[in-house]
Amino acid sequence: MKRILACFLALLLPLSACAGPAAVSTPSAPAQTITFTRENFPRLDGSTSTAPLGRAIAAVLLGETEDEVAGLIQFSRTTQSYRQLMAGERDLVIAAEPNAAVFDEMEEAGFALSMEPFAYEGLVFVVNAGNPVDSLTLEQIQDIYTGQIANWAEVGGRNLPIVPFQRNAESGSQVLMEKLVMDGLPLMSPPEGNLVSTMGSLITGVMSYDNSANAIGYTVYYYAHDMEMAEGLKILRVDGVSPSAGAIRSGEYPLRNPYYVAMDARTPEESMTYVLYHWLLGEEGQRLVARAGYASLLEVE
């Protein structure tokens, strides 16, 4: 798994991770700088795919290595992370948006959220590396997941049944699947064993299902590509476009969605949570996002 060392990041950022905690400017008083410590560092949460970014943020701002800060980053996945924020058990979330039920819960509880995009993610489709199909159209993907296309021969592959894996309803990638691909179309009920609760289980299932190349599944680009989970898999082109950080940022790749940084809207401006929220949206934070392998919102070196 790709690791991001604080000392290496310090070569690319105006932060000296090896020399100790970094001093950053406050949004309300740019001339004033403050220092993050373990005692004042915000309690972070987020999705499985943003946990590496959480470790990178903590390592750089605290001047420690990722191994040293690992205990500070215990992400509870996309939907639950927002619930933790609403409950006051976390200070800052970095994730895709949760499913609609969470926003309903927040409205019912009178909880107001400050939420802004800081990066882009792509939803990608993966098959076994031995599958001859390299590309699908969005319409073909919809037809596969509604059950209208059931054989790989219908999309240029072998005469074999298609085995479509799905994620659980509250996972970030399932939310993206329903939003970006299905757009109101009903997903078919997955066969027994083809509904998985983790990205790792989905990827393992697609790689090795029944020792064949019949399966297809979906995950986020960062997890499949940058975390080196794609060995034995092939990432498909969608509408002829291969997913890459550049294609996702530009919107050329069609299945794109923002990652958000979110906090309680009542968070005081003088708090470290407020400072970190705005640091992540600024140039220094965006350089870290890009260096960590995500498609940053700003185009930075």
pLDDT 10s per residue in the chain (301 long)?
Answer: 333 333 333 333 444 344 567 777 777 666 577 899 999 999 999 988 899 999 999 999 999 999 999 999 989 988 999 999 999 999 999 998 888 899 999 999 999 999 999 999 999 999 999 999 999 999 999 999 999 999 999 999 999 999 999 998 878 788 889 999 999 999 998 877 788 877 778 877 787 777 778 999 998 888 776 555 567 889 999 999 999 888 998 999 999 999 999 999 999 999 999 999 999 999 999 999 988 888 888 887 7
Domains of the chain (ranges plus CATH)?
6-119+259-296 (3.40.190.10), 121-250 (3.40.190.10)
**DSSP collapsed to 3 states, the chain:** CCCCCHHHHCCCCCCCHHHCCCEEECCCCCCCEEECCCCCCCCEEECHHHHHHHHHHHHHHHCCCHHHHHHHCCCCCHHHHHHHHHCCCCCEEEECCCCHHHHHHHHHHCCCEEEEEEEEEEEEEEEECCCCCCEECHHHHHHHHHCCCCEHHHHCCCCCECEECEECCCCHHHHHHHHHHHCCCCCCCCCCCCEECCHHHHHHHHHHHHHCCCEEEEEEHHHHHHCCCCCCEEECEECCECCCHHHHHHCCCCCEEEEEEEEECCCCCCCHHHHHHHHHHCHHHHHHHHHCCCEECCCCC
- CA 297 from centre of chain: 14
pTM confidence score: 0.76
